[in-house]
Structure 1
Amino acid sequence: MANLRDIRDRISSVKSTQQITRAMKMVAAARLRKAQDRMTDARPYTYKIREVVKNLTERSNSDNPLFRTSENPENVLIIVLGSDRGLCGGFNTNLFRIVENKIHDHFSGHMKNGNLSMICFGKKAYDYFRTRKYPVIDHKIGFFDQLKYENVTDVMNGIIAEFKEGTYDEVYLAYNEFKSVIAQNRRFEFILPITYETDKVTVPEFPSIFEKKVKNKEVTDKPESESKKTGLKPDVDYLYEPDPDTILDYILPLYVNVQLWQASLESYAAEQGARMTAMDSATENAGDIISDLQLKYNQARQAAITTEISEIVSGAEALSE
């Protein structure tokens, strides 16, 4: 059995760790409150701009390059949103495993041919994929410390320009969507080229590269009865100034930027929730360890006292004889 000094040192060490985890939990809880407010405030705008793009697309025959699809996409870009710091449970590893599975299942040929590229947001994402020899062409460390819309547009506008030039045929986005403080949804979404489904406003989670939805240019001729079957609202006449095509040319880059902005807000809030949960669990575990060590300390102390008493009694008996 360990001596009393060793046990006391361990108890002191665990108590120090417990203070750190408790403080980190409180910091994460404070950040989570602000992150949740920003995320929930942005959601209505994000959902509405999706609806606006969908309605405009139905009424337009625009040939905007952001609609450009390829039957055999060669160059693929994957954007991964991780975190800069650890101690947040499975927040990063669970998402990274899903990204790896998607790459192995759908893009293994692209990776072998050198046609797969990755951009990693957060130090953990960059370190994970770089050390595993994935083709990381760019990384953003400290991005979430200064989470601003301007920083998102700087990144996304460059990607949009490269997509228009044909550098990439498809762009995907992987991130953790905030579900609750203790749970996140891992998302792997198809963001470029822009597609939509006639019965949904939201972007599909992950359409297969062989079964992608393409822009339907004949939706405007759909009869009202068919719209009712699909659950769409009846067609409504709008006045456009100057015209739907011009409005689309302006709003589509904004739409893509908003997708990355909302994903960044979701990811940051999910990170704080995961860290708060992990640190709360660590604090409780430290308390359990301290209780066990305290019990061992008391047992060792009792054994030491018993041994001393036995030695004193034995010595007294020896002297009396």
Structure 2
Amino acid sequence: MANLRDIRTRISAVKTTMQVTSAMKMISAARLKKAQDDVDHIRPYTSHLIGIINDLVSTYPDVKINYTFPGKGEKIVLFVLASDRGLCGAFNANVVKAVQKLLKGELKDDYKNGNVEIRVMGKQAWKMLRSRNINPRILEEGQLSDPAYSKISMLADELIDEYDLGILKKAIVVYNSFINAAVQEVQVQQFLPVSIPEIKPNKAISEYILEPNQQTIVNSLMPKALRSLFYQVVLESIASEHGARMTSMHKATDNADALTKELQLLYNKARQSTITNELIEITSGAEALKK
């Protein structure tokens, strides 16, 4: 009977866990919907903003783009985006692995010379990096739960100001890009200096009258484009987190359900065995009384 009691306890514990994982899956699914809508809204805006700058530069060769040349400083900022909470599979671990690969490869010499400054958004990445003897300098808290543009853009402005002041050489962002609910792809993206893709000249834009002039317009659009790009990166990471957690909790719920069925089958077999043994004992006792 002790064995049956243990199995019943395990079944009860697994069912409780399954209820928790199922609830977390539904919560993540609801949050994912909003986060995915935010990503779908910001992507066209950022794309069109960069497109306007491309069109102006390709149409007017004399126009120069700021923030496209290596900074005059020596400092390299590595901005790492992850999550504040766990239970999202390999979401955080993949980002940390990408950071380690950078520090051992492309940024090896700068890291040894102390020129790499790591800034983190996400407590889980902060803990994981420190456990690997990598000490981030700044932890940005409260941004993931409330990703307001006014707050996120201030982080981008800090990088832009350091670049303008000649402190920053370049800034790199490591994050998970949102593909779909089940797929997130780690991206190592250079934020500064920015890379503007080359496109064919747009003759249509030359038909417009631009005031005060093309260069002034590009100079005013570039900081806005950089803020939007940084904001998009944060939204991509948040959507990826909810997608990863929903997928992880879905798998955990399925595993708990399968384990419950296995334990129930084991319980039935053990109970049947116990009943059979009791019947044998009763039969044996009755036979003994007859003799």
* TM norm. shorter chain > 0.5: yes
Residue in structure 1 matched with residue 116 of structure 2 by the alignment = 116
Residue in structure 2 matched with residue 38 of structure 1 by the alignment = 38
CA shift for structure 1 position 131? 2.3
CA shift for structure 1 position 135? 4.0
Rounded Cα–Cα distance in structure 1 between residues aligned with 2:71 and 2:29 = 45
Spell out, residue by residue over 1:175-227, the C-alpha distance to the aligned partner (whole angstroms, 9 max, x if none). 1111111111221111111232314xxxxxxxxxxxxxxxxxxxxxxxxxxx5
Shifted more, 129-138 versus 165-174: the winner is 129-138
Residue in structure 2 matched with residue 314 of structure 1 by the alignment = 284
Residue in structure 1 matched with residue 131 of structure 2 by the alignment = 131
Residue in structure 1 matched with residue 68 of structure 2 by the alignment = 67
Q: CA RMSD, aligned part only? A: 2.0
Residue in structure 2 matched with residue 284 of structure 1 by the alignment = 254
1:262 aligns with 2:263: no
CA shift for structure 1 position 80? 1.1
Q: Give TM-score scaled by structure 1 length.
A: 0.84
Residue in structure 2 matched with residue 244 of structure 1 by the alignment = 214
Q: Any conservation in 1 of the 2:71–2:163 contact (CA below 8 Å)?
A: no
Shifted more, 143-152 versus 47-56: the winner is 47-56
CA shift for structure 1 position 39? 1.0
Segments of 5+ residues of structure 1 without an aligned counterpart are: 200-226
CA shift for structure 1 position 302? 0.8
Residue in structure 2 matched with residue 143 of structure 1 by the alignment = 143
CA shift for structure 1 position 247? 2.0
What pairs up with 1:66-105 in 2 under 5 angstroms? 66-69=67-70, 74-105=74-105
Q: Any conservation in 2 of the 1:116–1:135 contact (CA below 8 Å)?
A: no
CA shift for structure 1 position 249? 2.6
Rounded Cα–Cα distance in structure 2 between residues aligned with 1:104 and 1:57 = 37
CA shift for structure 1 position 102? 2.2
CA gap 1:140/1:2 in 2 versus in 1, 3 angstroms: farther
Q: Any conservation in 2 of the 1:181–1:274 contact (CA below 8 Å)?
A: yes
Q: Any conservation in 1 of the 2:122–2:141 contact (CA below 8 Å)?
A: yes
CA shift for structure 1 position 146? 0.6
CA gap 1:132/1:139 in 2 versus in 1, 3 angstroms: same
CA shift for structure 1 position 316? 1.5
Give 1:294's match in structure 2, choosing from 240, 264, 269.
264
What pairs up with 1:133-212 in 2 under 5 angstroms? 133-199=133-199
CA gap 1:270/1:315 in 2 versus in 1, 3 angstroms: same
Letter matched to residue 156 of structure 1: A
Rounded Cα–Cα distance in structure 1 between residues aligned with 2:269 and 2:25 = 33
Matched length: 288
CA shift for structure 1 position 63? 7.3
CA shift for structure 1 position 74? 3.4
Letter matched to residue 49 of structure 2: I
Q: Any conservation in 1 of the 2:65–2:219 contact (CA below 8 Å)?
A: no
Letter matched to residue 123 of structure 1: K
Report the 3-state secondary structure (helix = DSSP H, G, I; strand = E; otherwise coil) of the residue aligned with 1:136: coil
Rounded Cα–Cα distance in structure 1 between residues aligned with 2:14 and 2:37 = 35
Letter matched to residue 284 of structure 1: D
Rounded Cα–Cα distance in structure 2 between residues aligned with 1:131 and 1:43 = 35
Rounded Cα–Cα distance in structure 1 between residues aligned with 2:251 and 2:192 = 39
Residue in structure 1 matched with residue 23 of structure 2 by the alignment = 23
Rounded Cα–Cα distance in structure 2 between residues aligned with 1:49 and 1:2 = 69
Letter matched to residue 304 of structure 1: T
CA shift for structure 1 position 20? 0.4
